Chains A and B, each alone.
Chain A
């Protein structure tokens, strides 16, 4: 009998193991059922709201219900559930919009599932309109809390009109350019400046001066052009930053006190993928945002210097450019991590998923942040007329694209304001053919947010 009992223990073990598996299955189904339903054709989706209760997404929306192009400023950011756009808030968080619970099933009417975002639809729309016929993108967020307030990208689409004629859509219509890498132009000099402060220290960097004669022949024998063909003369770091002088920064990169390995270390700490072909992303409420990338091989190499100046192979998303501003203006060297979703409600209306302010690890030293902040604030004084009414830290950039055939204008910065702690980045594409200027868009955006 003893041996029979031992044998039957095996039966017990098998049955218990199976029961354990079934318990895991039930828990898994309970936890993930909303996700499964969100992939169903029968999904009943709730609404997405802005910070003031304005609707940003409604699966039953029609132009008649909301008005023509009502959602166009958030079309490629908030998106829809039709599957054409995959890197949008709705696509990435569709299970949170499900009017469904495992016990109640689908709730077509009366379901209270919703996403409440931090976006300001009013300001977003004004910024969108301020681009006029131009294309580009703009993003602004609260650098104290991480709330994204404005995030718009042109061209965009009114999702209520569907995707008929998708083949004729302009390039970039279905993505938010805020999340994707672009040539940063001289806004890259903020990163190089931060690196220089960390590598050399304040005193040594301020003691350095280089001469710009409009063109600089680097040690590798290549020409680095300056936007000022007459040259800026001999400058220190602050003057060169304000002048956005390319030859100065090329000489800075060549300087023996600024070893390339150290620059690479600083860049990588800031989140750059250096000499890495693989695309990398970080996450904002599920939305993938491209990480910065550049190629740095030799201090005397043209492409390396050009990369540190913000041209060539260097790519940085407007979102990333803006995030570094938070580390500078907060004087911590830590980025305030952005979010779009403030909170959600489930099918019963219970609030959940409250957003918490969080910070990155230290991506540059607080000391370098203080110095760069001061330089940017000094530079901001040059914009006191075009962007009046704000204590502004700013850096402009002109990015050469399509082999220099077109130039994009960028403005990245922050305002020092206790009530409105806003960092921003604006990208205006093909600025020569644009009826507006990036400063105008920034001014419009800040006015709308600080109304």
Chain B
């Protein structure tokens, strides 16, 4: 690392550490804790994780560490939040998932940093996606989205998100390879991707995880748009119009065929049904109002008595204890992470498409959670990336953030191929 790079690294680390210490300091004065020892344990976990990550990152030679610093920044803020709802005590479970998220981030980075290599592994992602779909079909059951392993549960549909992003991204370079089917010039890879999204939609419907549907659809549509932008990959107007009509028809059919519990959520008046279907949202809004701009203080909230306060209602929980201002700051940090590719653009179209897919997944999930819990749109029960509790979600988000980092610090080297035929094909891209 160069001298200026080292200075920047130290300044960034100092900033992250200072911010976390400031939050812990605020908890010391305004927080609700039984004994200082609980706060000390939490502080040690936060500061310890900061230091370990700062050191661990040095083993990875990257062009920039911006997202990495922001990731540890947001993850430890998340740990502080999750350890403060309803009373300060270290949330060991969340600490473990934060660490898992950081590890997944490294894996995501390693996997995606070389765009040429990863595009040769297209079939592997098809298989991985297929395996996840199969696991949902065989292990979760038709009314569940969880696989119970006894000591913990996992939500396989979460892992489907990065896998589907990779499916959408790895074949982006195939756009010139069109074949004529009926009167349309179609890229077979696009059909495969469309088949996947239809399969995923059916699967989500089957296991009653409709909340995640918009995320998958957004990933697919962003992938589609990215393909439209691909050089010389012009899609005919006929196809675009047909696609839009098809999506519209499918959306209408989905609303008509939606099960009663979904329709109830689509059209519920939360204040006239504030003890029934509107209970969680009305309590969330009351909590936000109670928190005001600067909150009631860590651990002083009441929303922790409501189901899903730490997952689906996490934005309201933060607003209540830390205030709307702080909650907005946290959302802003996530948005800045997502906006990093705009400041430091990827140097390959693969990484640009990857950034689009990750951004769409994160933005849609945040929108569904925050706007849903605040009664601006139907309440679907998805998580806010990195903030909500949940191992599957944290690991997945970490992995997707690794994909984003890969676009910031890519590796350019030709893939090692054994026969000349393959080499030619890779070079042609």
Considering only CB atoms and an 8 Å cut-off, how many residues of chain B contact the other chain?
Answer: 43
CB atoms of A106 and B290 under 8 A apart: yes
CB atoms of B349 and A4 under 8 A apart: yes
- CB-defined interface of B256-299 with A at 8 Å, one 1/0 digit per residue? 00000000000000010010000000100110111011001000
Residues on the A chain within 8 Å of B202, using CB: none
Residues on the B chain within 8 Å of A32, using CB: 285
Does B378 sit within 8 A of A, measured CB to CB? no
Does A229 sit within 8 A of B, measured CB to CB? no
Does B339 sit within 8 A of A, measured CB to CB? yes
Chain A interface residue count: which class?
Answer: 35 or more
CB atoms of A100 and B289 under 8 A apart: yes
How far is it, in angstroms, between the C-alpha of A22 and the C-alpha of B292 when the chains are bound? 16
Question: What is the minimal beta-carbon distance from A87 to any residue of chain B, in angstroms?
Answer: 14
**Given B285, B290, B331, B342, which contacts A11 in the complex, CB threshold below 8 Å?**
B342
Does A433 sit within 8 A of B, measured CB to CB? no
Residues of chain B from 333 to 379 with CB closer than 8 A to chain A in the complex: 335, 338-339, 341-342, 345-349, 352-353, 355-356, 359-360, 363, 366-367, 370-371, 374, 376
Q: Which of A23-31, A54-62, A72-80, A273-281 makes up part of the contact surface?
A: A23-31
CB atoms of B335 and A19 under 8 A apart: yes
CB atoms of B288 and A22 under 8 A apart: no
Does B222 sit within 8 A of A, measured CB to CB? yes
- CB-defined interface of A94-105 with B at 8 Å, one 1/0 digit per residue? 000000101111
Residues of chain A from 1 to 57 with CB closer than 8 A to chain B in the complex: 1, 3-8, 10-12, 14-15, 17-19, 21-22, 24-26, 28-29, 32-34, 36-37, 39-40, 42
Q: Please indicate which of the listed interface residues B231, B352, B353, B374 has the most CB atoms of chain A within 10 Å of its own CB.
A: B352
CB atoms of B349 and A3 under 8 A apart: yes
Residues on the B chain within 8 Å of A42, using CB: 290
Question: What is the minimal beta-carbon distance from A144 to any residue of chain B, in angstroms?
Answer: 37
Residues on the B chain within 8 Å of A100, using CB: 289
How far is it, in angstroms, between the C-alpha of A34 and the C-alpha of B289 when the chains are bound? 7
How far is it, in angstroms, between the C-alpha of A39 and the C-alpha of B286 when the chains are bound? 7
Residues on the B chain within 8 Å of A8, using CB: 341-342, 345-346, 352, 355-356
CB atoms of B229 and A40 under 8 A apart: no
Question: What is the minimal beta-carbon distance from A16 to any residue of chain B, in angstroms?
Answer: 10
CB atoms of A15 and B226 under 8 A apart: no
- CB-defined interface of B114-155 with A at 8 Å, one 1/0 digit per residue? 000000000000000000000000000000000000000000
CB atoms of A11 and B376 under 8 A apart: no
How far is it, in angstroms, between the C-alpha of A103 and the C-alpha of B294 when the chains are bound? 8
Does B192 sit within 8 A of A, measured CB to CB? no
Residues of chain B from 302 to 343 with CB closer than 8 A to chain A in the complex: 324, 328, 331, 335, 338-339, 341-342
Does B230 sit within 8 A of A, measured CB to CB? yes
CB atoms of B339 and A25 under 8 A apart: no
CB atoms of A37 and B286 under 8 A apart: yes
**Given A12, A28, A34, A39, which contacts B342 in the complex, CB threshold below 8 Å?**
A12
How far is it, in angstroms, between the C-alpha of A102 and the C-alpha of B320 when the chains are bound? 12
CB atoms of A36 and B288 under 8 A apart: yes
Residues on the B chain within 8 Å of A33, using CB: 288-289, 292
**Given A7, A11, A17, which contacts B349 in the complex, CB threshold below 8 Å?**
A7
Residues on the A chain within 8 Å of B285, using CB: 29, 32, 36
CB atoms of B335 and A39 under 8 A apart: no
CB atoms of B349 and A29 under 8 A apart: no
CB atoms of A29 and B286 under 8 A apart: no
Does B198 sit within 8 A of A, measured CB to CB? no
Question: What is the minimal beta-carbon distance from A33 to any residue of chain B, in angstroms?
Answer: 4
How far is it, in angstroms, between the C-alpha of A3 and the C-alpha of B338 when the chains are bound? 19
How many A-B Cβ pairs are below 8 Å? 113
Residues on the B chain within 8 Å of A34, using CB: 289
CB atoms of B339 and A15 under 8 A apart: yes
Does B40 sit within 8 A of A, measured CB to CB? no
How far is it, in angstroms, between the C-alpha of A39 and the C-alpha of B339 when the chains are bound? 38
How far is it, in angstroms, between the C-alpha of A106 and the C-alpha of B296 when the chains are bound? 11
Residues on the B chain within 8 Å of A3, using CB: 229-231, 349, 352
- CB-defined interface of A325-362 with B at 8 Å, one 1/0 digit per residue? 00000000000000000000000000000000000000
With A15-B335, A36-B288, A102-B293 known as contacts, the answer to whether A26 contacts B324 (CB < 8 A) is: yes
How far is it, in angstroms, between the C-alpha of A36 and the C-alpha of B320 when the chains are bound? 13
Does B225 sit within 8 A of A, measured CB to CB? yes
CB atoms of A4 and B352 under 8 A apart: yes
**Given B328, B341, B349, which contacts A22 in the complex, CB threshold below 8 Å?**
B328
Residues on the A chain within 8 Å of B355, using CB: 7-8, 11
How far is it, in angstroms, between the C-alpha of A3 and the C-alpha of B350 when the chains are bound? 11
Question: What is the minimal beta-carbon distance from A27 to any residue of chain B, in angstroms?
Answer: 11
**Given A10, A14, A25, A106, which contacts B370 in the complex, CB threshold below 8 Å?**
A25
Residues of chain A from 93 to 151 with CB closer than 8 A to chain B in the complex: 100, 102-106
How far is it, in angstroms, between the C-alpha of A42 and the C-alpha of B303 when the chains are bound? 13
Residues on the B chain within 8 Å of A102, using CB: 289, 292-293, 324
How far is it, in angstroms, between the C-alpha of A25 and the C-alpha of B271 when the chains are bound? 17
How far is it, in angstroms, between the C-alpha of A22 and the C-alpha of B356 when the chains are bound? 20
With A5-B345, A11-B359, A22-B331 known as contacts, the answer to whether A40 contacts B289 (CB < 8 A) is: yes
Question: What is the minimal beta-carbon distance from A103 to any residue of chain B, in angstroms?
Answer: 6
CB atoms of A104 and B292 under 8 A apart: yes
With A18-B363, A29-B288 known as contacts, the answer to whether A7 contacts B376 (CB < 8 A) is: no
How far is it, in angstroms, between the C-alpha of A22 and the C-alpha of B226 when the chains are bound? 26
CB atoms of B374 and A28 under 8 A apart: yes
Question: What is the minimal beta-carbon distance from A74 to any residue of chain B, in angstroms?
Answer: 26
Question: What is the minimal beta-carbon distance from A15 to any residue of chain B, in angstroms?
Answer: 6
Residues on the B chain within 8 Å of A40, using CB: 286, 289-290
CB atoms of B353 and A7 under 8 A apart: yes
How far is it, in angstroms, between the C-alpha of A14 and the C-alpha of B289 when the chains are bound? 28
How far is it, in angstroms, between the C-alpha of A137 and the C-alpha of B52 when the chains are bound? 77
Q: Which 7 A-B pairs have the closest CB atoms?
A: A33-B289, A36-B289, A6-B229, A7-B352, A4-B352, A36-B285, A40-B286
Given contacts A11-B356, A106-B290, list 16 more A-B pairs with CB under 8 A. Answer: A4-B345, A4-B352, A7-B352, A7-B355, A8-B356, A10-B225, A10-B356, A11-B355, A14-B222, A14-B363, A18-B335, A21-B376, A22-B370, A25-B371, A29-B285, A105-B292
